[in-house]
Structure 1
């Protein structure tokens, strides 16, 4: 891989051992810790909870095992590259299943759902069936999406934008006018230029939700997301997304990472350092954390916080050392909050696919309710239902189904917290009840509520309390134009030397693949690698051996 001077570096190259503390044991924290340990750092990971995974959570009850967070496996090449950086591969780590259909969509007022199949040709047939003559437009749309995705992988995702010279590359300059149009036009406007049928436009606009945004707020450049589900297809790791976390824990520990659970960091410790550049006022010396009744200081040369960026900046640093103080956040747009329902259901539910979406007619009104003041919980809402038991027998008892229901709501902790068997806040339980009734009516499952044998909800208040999530958002800062690429929060403190950030609230953004890339961006920063491409994967001869 290339450093700032173009000199190749390799995993395991001799250098002084750096004492490194990683704050947070979610996917970004585990990934960062594993990469840096293989690089030769002495890494300690501190996680406040007794369990690891962060947003990639699991809850089990009555023989059901629920993923309580991410449930779409997209961008498989990002996962593959990451695993190879750790000396393994996705096939060895995960049992991946192709989903076909990739997902099902119920449209309000439409009698029959639409199944989105795997593979371009079959998707083309689907589009032609819904809007005659739309096949060529789909080909052009997806070809453009694939090109944008390839460009993002080569130029935008694997860089911290330390050097703006990367934006002057020949391929970017050749696409400059097109990229400008795609950046200034919204995703819904872009889809409307090619398709008249509102069902197709909703299908192409929905990926904005994966980005914590709405189709009208998301730059059209993100039409690249349609390449992921319509061209590349959707996968599922058998055993649930917990299998990704369990594998990362094993890989991190085998690389030499010390993981401390139940360790709540209360302060990032610093010292004045006149040797630092003029912008930076201090350097990290470690962290202060509490475990049980004991308060400890853990010295460090490098601190990587994968906790929520707002919490890291405003709660763990004094105001004069904050790169992103409270005043900065007042001008940011939060991604949506969520009411989550985990439901164990008696009997089979063939009306639902592994992934099922429910789209309302009042599409734009739904998003206005979430993002524009005065906000409110949409009713009816455009909701998402995951039925992993359609693919994986291990997540539910025989003769039962496992449902995960997500209702997008405003990022507002006052909506409340969830609970077991209806014990959550009134607004949270009300949104869950409305979602159950909506699924029952639209999908033709009139007795759905009566068949639920296990039930738990989560709300924005849970995300704020348990994950220190800014404004209770379920995802992080929305991917609007002003919060994407080099306009998103940077991954290194401007005022504290040795302090870095990873996770969904910093570069490159929201989602499991983005969190894996964010971990690699910290590695590249520490190596002085300003290249825009993914790091060169190590060969067996270059791997670190931990004794």
Structure 2
């Protein structure tokens, strides 16, 4: 079949690879000059930055995706396991905590900070591991076009417990496990990966603690640009045509059936590309409100106003002279009053002070910064409000974006002891909510996609098929299963399943047996 894919982010590329590998004639259209979407990259003056995702979690999802294409993680990526997985600093000045993906070390750390917590944490991690397994086996690879997956015996046996986990906030579940506020934050912060707060995320998502406290945090050498480039290469090797600098202006529909897309022709006009199937990996709001005629939209703009877009972010990409020994590859800096921090974002205000995430990939990868320099990526969660403005290079962004970045850099310097950080910055680029909206078509400038609240998770999230237009499928972070690169790879597989007419829950059978990856400690040999 002729397939037109809208969007060259990781979901579009993964979908192109899978569908082209299945024998379809695939043509992908990306409006920007570069592929990757939210998982993009930017380079200047010898520095190279990932502009989006930086935590490599759920390696088994990557492995399964590669196996569907007849290859493996080992063949595609130079994967390194980080040690520590990440470090947490606290506004209070309490000693920082190092965490890794080793269960025993995680339990020892919790016991050292809160004597008597080990037994409770063993139960918490056992529950996280079981819930993660249940999600992988029964929920994440299901498009919920049928409820059969919810009626399987492993799910029914745990139905009472699952209902409790869905109804209890993650913050409450964490507080029932450990009393120390710092440890509660360690258990609650994964909600941010889901575009929400621990006070609003269902405690079902405590499964994330299995990933960072037991399963491990990894880094693909070359950054996520290496992941994007590799998936694009796999798509092209299977015959997919990838067109950059070619925005889609309209999805064409006739008689309730998608017939193709209209794209820029490069000389100021448009041309029609016929297709039997259109897969839009653009944000669902952009697809509905910009690419479809009003009669083909499934919800009004007013209905969209009731959707929680999740937070946006101010990003600062910094080239820094000298070394930063107090910062490992991943750093989280938490404010003391977390409820106020998240409450400000939900109320549409920039929190002051704000919790901050810092990535220093140069701690692991020497190729992301010139010799004698460091590469820092700073992320500050802020409201999804394009009025906060655009970023810029060298401090040339809108005043509020630059002010937020300055405050974050000052806080990181103070909390981590790198007191001269601002004076050592030799390259600076900021990104604001208006950039997410303008460059990525992200609704209200959301950085990740709709929040994973109870009403916006699993089968209550965006659907794969369009109920008003036959032959139009949706994929990406705004649809099921949700936010994050592993979820986007699964989303691409859900499209493949739909194209094959395969409605059963669970993963598709892998076509061949290939070797599992063998990640190594940071600084070790190629995995």
Q: TM range, normalised to the smaller chain?
A: over 0.9
Structure 1 residues 518 and 329 mapped into 2: Cα distance closer, same or farther (>3 Å)?
same
Aligned pairs for 1:351-430 (under 5 A) are: 351-372=326-347, 375-430=348-403
Cross-structure match for 2:298: 323
3-state DSSP of counterpart to 1:384: strand
Aligned pairs for 1:201-212 (under 5 A) are: 201-212=184-195
Cross-structure match for 1:536: 509
CA distance, structure 1, for counterparts of residue 145 and residue 94 of structure 2: 52
Aligned pairs for 1:234-383 (under 5 A) are: 234-272=217-255, 282-292=256-266, 293-372=268-347, 375-383=348-356
CA distance, structure 1, for counterparts of residue 135 and residue 149 of structure 2: 12
The answer to whether residue 472 in structure 2 is matched with residue 499 in structure 1 is: yes
1:39-62 per-position Cα deviation (integer Å, ceiling 9, x unaligned): 111000001011100011111111
Offset of residue 294 of structure 1: 3.4
The answer to whether residue 72 in structure 2 is matched with residue 89 in structure 1 is: yes
Cross-structure match for 2:521: none
TM-score (normalised: structure 2): 0.96
Q: List structure 1 runs of 4+ shifted beyond 4 angstroms.
A: none
The answer to whether residue 69 in structure 2 is matched with residue 69 in structure 1 is: no
Offset of residue 532 of structure 1: 1.3
1:500-532 per-position Cα deviation (integer Å, ceiling 9, x unaligned): 011100010000000000000011111111121
**Which ranges of structure 2 fall in alignment gaps of 5 or more residues?**
515-527
CA distance, structure 2, for counterparts of residue 20 and residue 328 of structure 1: 30
The answer to whether residue 90 in structure 2 is matched with residue 107 in structure 1 is: yes
CA distance, structure 1, for counterparts of residue 55 and residue 184 of structure 2: 21
3-state DSSP of counterpart to 1:365: helix
8 Å contact from structure 2 (residues 362, 375) kept in 1: yes
**Which ranges of structure 1 fall in alignment gaps of 5 or more residues?**
1-17, 273-281, 542-547
CA distance, structure 2, for counterparts of residue 61 and residue 288 of structure 1: 34
Cross-structure match for 1:183: 166
Cross-structure match for 1:455: 428
3-state DSSP of counterpart to 2:435: helix
CA distance, structure 2, for counterparts of residue 118 and residue 529 of structure 1: 35
- RMSD over aligned Cα atoms: 1.0
3-state DSSP of counterpart to 1:55: helix
8 Å contact from structure 1 (residues 264, 291) kept in 2: no
8 Å contact from structure 1 (residues 310, 324) kept in 2: no
Cross-structure match for 1:13: none
Offset of residue 328 of structure 1: 2.7
8 Å contact from structure 1 (residues 45, 257) kept in 2: yes
1:421-462 per-position Cα deviation (integer Å, ceiling 9, x unaligned): 100011100000001100111111111111000000000000
Offset of residue 353 of structure 1: 0.8
1:196-222 per-position Cα deviation (integer Å, ceiling 9, x unaligned): 000110000000000001001000000
1:285-312 per-position Cα deviation (integer Å, ceiling 9, x unaligned): 1111113223110000000000111000
Cross-structure match for 2:522: none
CA distance, structure 2, for counterparts of residue 527 and residue 331 of structure 1: 34
1:60-108 per-position Cα deviation (integer Å, ceiling 9, x unaligned): 1111101110000000000000001111100110000010100000011
CA distance, structure 1, for counterparts of residue 31 and residue 304 of structure 2: 24
CA distance, structure 2, for counterparts of residue 409 and residue 218 of structure 1: 17
Offset of residue 357 of structure 1: 0.3
The equivalent position to 1:43 in structure 2, one of 15, 19, 26, is 26
8 Å contact from structure 1 (residues 83, 89) kept in 2: yes
Offset of residue 540 of structure 1: 8.3
Between Structure 1 and Structure 2, how many residues are aligned?
513
1:114-135 per-position Cα deviation (integer Å, ceiling 9, x unaligned): 1113300011110011100111
CA distance, structure 2, for counterparts of residue 118 and residue 147 of structure 1: 17
3-state DSSP of counterpart to 1:497: coil
CA distance, structure 1, for counterparts of residue 33 and residue 43 of structure 2: 15
8 Å contact from structure 1 (residues 103, 354) kept in 2: yes
**Range 513-522 or range 311-320, more displaced:** 311-320
3-state DSSP of counterpart to 1:227: helix
3-state DSSP of counterpart to 2:462: coil
The equivalent position to 1:467 in structure 2, one of 412, 426, 440, is 440
3-state DSSP of counterpart to 1:496: coil
CA distance, structure 2, for counterparts of residue 115 and residue 432 of structure 1: 25
3-state DSSP of counterpart to 1:105: strand
Offset of residue 533 of structure 1: 1.1
Cross-structure match for 1:11: none
The equivalent position to 1:195 in structure 2, one of 164, 178, 198, is 178
Structure 1 residues 540 and 40 mapped into 2: Cα distance closer, same or farther (>3 Å)?
farther
Cross-structure match for 1:523: 496
Cross-structure match for 1:512: 485
